Every structure is written in C-alpha cells, then in structure tokens.
Amino acid sequence: MSGFPITYAERIRTLPPYLFAAIDELKQQAIAKGMDIINLGVGDPDLPTPSLIIDRLAQAARDPQNHQYPSYDGLLSFRTAVARWYHRRFGVEVDPATEVLTLIGSKEGIGHIPLAFVDPGDIVLVPSPGYPVYPVGASFAGGIPIPMPLLKQNGFLPDLQAIPRDVADRAKLMFLNSPNNPTAAVASKEFFHQVVEFAQAHQVIVCHDAAYSEIYYDQKQPPSFLEVPGAREVGIEFHSLSKTFNMTGWRIGFAVGRREIIAGLGKVKSNIDSGVFQAIQEAGIAALDAHEQLTEGIRHVYQERRDVLVPGLKDLGLEVNPPDAAFYVWIHVPPGYTSTSFAAHLLEQAGIVATPGNGFGEAGEGYIRMTLTTSTERLAEAVERLKRIGW
C-alpha cells in the first residue's frame, strides 16, 4: 500500500535548518571518523544543577497534588518567588498575579509571543546576529522579520536611529537581547532609555530576552530593561532558569512586564500548552530564593574559563574582546576566511566545533562564536590545538 504525497506548509518549506541541529550533525560526522571533538558550539551548560534544586524537585514530585494539570499561568507561589527575586536583584516591584507568567523555558515564550500581537504583513524588528527563534517566531505568525544589524562600531547594539521611519511605524514587536547571544554585548541603562523613547514614539512592543543576565564577570551586573522608567509601559522581559542554574533540560522560565502584554502571551499559551509541571515550578522557587548562594560559584567557573580561552585566542592573533557577560566569545575570522569556512577549518584540522556567525543572521558574517561550556582543561587544549595548526 503506497501512501499519498506529503506536502509541508510553506512556513516549514522556507525554514532553514535549525542552526544548532546542523552543527550537531557535523559534529557527529567528525566523531564517526574517530576525531576527538572539543565542542565549543552549543551553549548548553556542562555543570550540574545544584543539589538544593534537585532535592526540592524530588520532594515535590512525590506530592500527588502535583500530578495533575498545572495552572496555565503557573503557580502563584512560583510567580511570587519571581517577584521577590526581581525586587532583590533589580529593585523592580511587579505584581505576581498579573505581571508575571510562567514559561516552558524562555524559548517557548519568545517563539509564541508574535502569535499574540503580529498579523500577516506586520514588521518585527530582530537583532542580527541574534537568537534564531526571533525571526522564526515572527515568520510563523505571518510577520516580516526586519534585521537590526549589531555592528562593532555600535558596541554590537542596534542603531535605533538607522531604522527607517516607515519601517519603525509598521513594526509591532522589537526583540532585544542583553547580555547578547552571540556577541556577549551588554546594553546600558542609557541604551534602554533610548529603546523606551523609540517604542513610545512608534508604538512598538519591546520583548527583551535577558536569559543571560546572571552570567556576568568582574561584578559587572547587567541591568534589567524594566529598571528604566517607562519600560513597564512598552514591553516585557524574558528570563530563564536554564543558564542561571544549569537547568536547560528542566524547561522553566518566565516573562515579566506590562500586564496586557503578559495577558496576550498567556492567552496564546492557554490554547497551545498545559503549563509547567508543578514540581519543577516548586524547584524553581527553591532556585530563585537561593539565587545569591547558588550563582556566585557558577560565575566563578565561567570567569576562570574565559580567562583561559580569551588570552589564548589573542596570543594567536585572533581578534576578540573579553566578554563582560554570558558564556560566549565572539571572534573575528582571519583574512581569507568566511564564517563557515573558518568553522569548517577548525573542525577538520583541530577537531574544534565553533558556530559560524552567519548562522545567527547576515550581520554575523565574518565572525564565529565559541562557548565556555566545557572544562578549563579542554579550553586550554583547544588553544594548544589552534597553535599547532597555526591559529
């Protein structure tokens, strides 16, 4: 019995391969050839989730009340823990009942929010290079993603003055990301003031992705967008427990900000998913309440790794700025290479997986991204391998 032809929807047919899935395929091919791979390609923490959080999950998972459908908005107790954390960390007061929403990881919320506010043909402003979910989520909603180039001369921040007036007036959403993936750039409060003014002038909803806000170095704490006056009126901020507490596999995050925007995203979610397992939310409460004691050690590990990789790359003559936050290193490729050809060169000649910058958007051409999510010893070995091949 033969099946009938299967035709994918246009939104799938035109979708490029997900960047990190493609990298993993290349890595597996190299492993199959017997290469010892140092994977500096995907930003998945190699450190374990702190035991305090695991213990809280184990306890909560045994409670039969957590075995049923959770609240669509998330446990009020979890959202209250988020509000406590926001006040301690940023000095920002939020209403946990109406201004906080539990997410199945921040990626899910970022991918779904265009469905709440973007109609076909609407413009969505996205950073380039940037997290691939920003333009993909916009496209899935029928929107038109318009890139905002992140250039070195602008500190890898969008130049809001360069956005044409007609584009700005048609835009429904603007995605921002600080600390930034992949460049590791950190926005200042002064820049966020400019964003608020831009959003108010053009009636654009700001969606700030702050997933890396707690991975910072030398005590330079990145600010929250919501710290800036007027930000609560124009946008929301996405956070994730994934990077902060080494919980990428747990899938829990949250959005905070203007209640009408939170309500719009919540309406989409209530029709698409059934919320986060309550035991994981209870573990999230433990994580947020113990934030100060859990995160300092994690930051120390990444700073130690940064201080091995970055000087090593500089000694080899590669152009790289030490990141002040996030666990990414943004590297200009040497003359004669493209992003893709240099990444391929590193994999084939040194067994090092790095991410081509153009995979994050056209403005990422000419760069590669390396991560700090592997041991100090392996990072030092990566530098030695680069020396052996002449870089």
DSSP string, 307-338: HHHHHHHHHTT-EEPPPSBSSEEEEEPPTT--
| Alpha-carbon span 312 to 122, nearest angstrom | 45
Q: Write down the pLDDT at residue 1.
A: 59
Q: Write down the pLDDT at residue 4.
A: 92
Q: Write down the pLDDT at residue 20.
A: 64
Q: Write down the pLDDT at residue 286.
A: 98
Handedness of CA 51, 52, 55, 56 (dihedral sign): negative
Beta strand pairing status for 205-209 and 235-240?
A: parallel
Q: Using CB atoms within 10 Å of the CB of residue 9, give its burial: 0 to 12 exposed, 13 to 18 middle, 19+ buried.
A: exposed
Q: Using CB atoms within 10 Å of the CB of residue 235, give its burial: 0 to 12 exposed, 13 to 18 middle, 19+ buried.
A: buried
| This prediction's pTM | 0.95
Q: Mean pLDDT in the chain? A: 95
pLDDT digits (tens, 9 = 90+) for 61-75: 999 999 999 999 999
The residues of the chain scoring below 50 in pLDDT are none
| Alpha-carbon span 227 to 223, nearest angstrom | 7
DSSP letter, residue 222:
P
Cβ count near 111 (within 10 Å): 17
What is the amino acid identity at position 109?
G
- Contact call for residues 372 and 379 (beta carbons, < 8 A): yes
Domains and CATH numbers, the chain: 10-48+293-389 (3.90.1150.10), 51-290 (3.40.640.10)
179: three-class secondary structure by DSSP:
coil
Q: Write down the pLDDT at residue 32.
A: 87
Q: Write down the pLDDT at residue 18.
A: 65
